[in-house]
Structure 1
């Protein structure tokens, strides 16, 4: 039997490969090798068909994101995102697939992606799905998009689940990011409830020194009564302002107090406390940032700081 010659190319493979690579980069060629398409260009229909598989691949999830963002209309985008129905919790835990969920929440109307919030809420994990998701980098980012883009009434149950675990989430790096979005975009009732929870554990959060941005956001966004209670709780912690002023994650709290977000009386008390430690604060860039308005006065020796 004569030796077999080179395997003939299937018609259209070269054209399809060129089209895919031109539109989607190297990821397009990989998709063709997976057998998704052999004789036609990589179009949105094919991507929608295999969206769930592609989204979990670190090299291919960008193909799905780009297709979602460039969809011709909401119907096409909703069809693509619909591939994640029943698989949202799996996607939330994936660093790559979660980016597709974020793009879908930003691209579509809340009515078309409400199932994402619902499946997170119904996730069979303890203590509850939103609280577990908030402790993940990928999950926290998805929750931040949901809180920002959805109407408050649509996600009231989801936010309530977060607030139920506010005491523990406030001590978690990614959890704090989700709570900050609740303070910025939540209802007045939600902001008050969260601020009251933070005030109750202000001493612990201040000593840990990692929640400065969260407490500062609460002071700026909370209703007046809750804000004053939180400010009083922070000021009652001995020597907390000078210590936080020297750290990257903590200095935003004394900066907010000095700027007067909690009222002039609290601002004056905060300044007087910080002026006692002016020489030490001058040695660090964050301390200098907090005390920037007062350096000219200190240089003249009026306040006795230098």
Structure 2
């Protein structure tokens, strides 16, 4: 017969307290051989329990979506636009109004363009105006951005970048060319910005100035390939630009082998490296493959580099 295991001093003290009837709140968590008589063991629900998950879901209060009630907004457009519920009322008013009323609503924002563009609520109203009105009626927004030299700042603003994107989508080139040229002139800091990179990608996807933009990107490939957002812009250019622009950009990438390797090892840049191999032909493709072969060790250490290294 085996002897019972010796009890350490702390265990003896604990057992002594429990035997004296001191039932602590945590006693139900004790193992069976230590739990006092009459105390039930604590039952834990598994995280995968369907009933538990359902109960938690039912207990969690559901966020109600605001439904516009159709109040009159004329005369108070700017006031309502700055509020979470009010901006929805203004957007609803634009949706259901005739063109004349839409223009009257937009007119009340003409003295508040930058404040509206940079507001978490009013920016939605400004976007709605751009989408609902004829492009010529959005000129007052472009005028403010250009006159106050806010183009680059707007492109990198959390909310105002959306206004720039809507203008690029909606307005013709002859109307936005000044804005686009300002953005292209400042392409590096905008491309390497958390919000600005989406504006540059928007130009690549929606503007006929993408060739001019790609030429500007070629001048900054070393910096772009070293930045997570910049690499995403290069990938966008390599997948959406014209064949001629893609080929020119691919050859520029190959001129500096470290650029190609950095892109290949990047989460957002490896698509660009793959496109380089798809675009170039003949001796240029042979050179690209040789660069990758000479950097196999680095490529194999990267999840994305291994993808590019597998292309032949």
Q: What TM-score, normalized by structure 2, do the two folds share?
A: 0.68
Matches within 5 A, 1:1-306: 43=70, 46-68=72-94, 70-123=95-148, 128-187=149-208, 190-222=209-241, 226-260=245-279, 262=280, 266-267=284-285, 269-274=287-292, 286-287=304-305, 290=308, 294=311
Q: What is the alpha-carbon distance in structure 2 between the residues aligned to residue 144 and residue 264 of structure 1?
A: 39
Q: What is the alpha-carbon distance in structure 2 between the residues aligned to residue 136 and residue 146 of structure 1?
A: 15
Q: Is the 8 A contact 2:130 2:138 kept in 1?
A: yes
Q: Is the 8 A contact 2:191 2:229 kept in 1?
A: no
Deviations 1:126-175 (A, max 9, x none): xx211111111212111111011111011111212222222332222322
Cα drift, residue 210 of structure 1: 3.0
Q: What is the alpha-carbon distance in structure 1 between the residues aligned to residue 251 and residue 228 of structure 2?
A: 17
Q: Is the 8 A contact 1:166 1:179 kept in 2?
A: yes
Question: Matched residue of 1:173: which SS?
Answer: coil
Cα drift, residue 222 of structure 1: 4.5
Cα drift, residue 199 of structure 1: 0.9
CA 173–267 in structure 1, closer or farther in 2 if over 3 Å, else same:
farther
CA 49–275 in structure 1, closer or farther in 2 if over 3 Å, else same:
farther
Question: Matched residue of 2:159: which SS?
Answer: helix
Q: Is the 8 A contact 1:133 1:140 kept in 2?
A: yes
CA 276–161 in structure 1, closer or farther in 2 if over 3 Å, else same:
same
Figure out how many residues of one structure are paired with residues of the other and give that number.
249
Q: What is the alpha-carbon distance in structure 2 between the residues aligned to residue 84 and residue 264 of structure 1?
A: 57
Cα drift, residue 282 of structure 1: 6.5
Question: Matched residue of 1:95: which SS?
Answer: coil
Deviations 1:71-127 (A, max 9, x none): 14333333222221121111111122111111221222112222112222122xxxx
Q: Identify unmatched segments of 5+ residues in structure 2.
A: 1-63
CA 89–264 in structure 1, closer or farther in 2 if over 3 Å, else same:
farther
Cα drift, residue 255 of structure 1: 2.7
Q: What is the alpha-carbon distance in structure 2 between the residues aligned to residue 112 and residue 263 of structure 1?
A: 47
Q: What is the alpha-carbon distance in structure 2 between the residues aligned to residue 255 and residue 111 of structure 1?
A: 41
Greater CA deviation, 131-140 or 163-172?
Answer: 163-172
Question: Matched residue of 2:224: which SS?
Answer: helix
Cα drift, residue 216 of structure 1: 2.5
CA 241–119 in structure 1, closer or farther in 2 if over 3 Å, else same:
same
Moved over 6 A (4+): none
Q: Is the 8 A contact 1:166 1:197 kept in 2?
A: yes
Q: What is the alpha-carbon distance in structure 2 between the residues aligned to residue 79 and residue 85 of structure 1?
A: 10
Q: What is the alpha-carbon distance in structure 2 between the residues aligned to residue 174 and residue 273 of structure 1?
A: 33
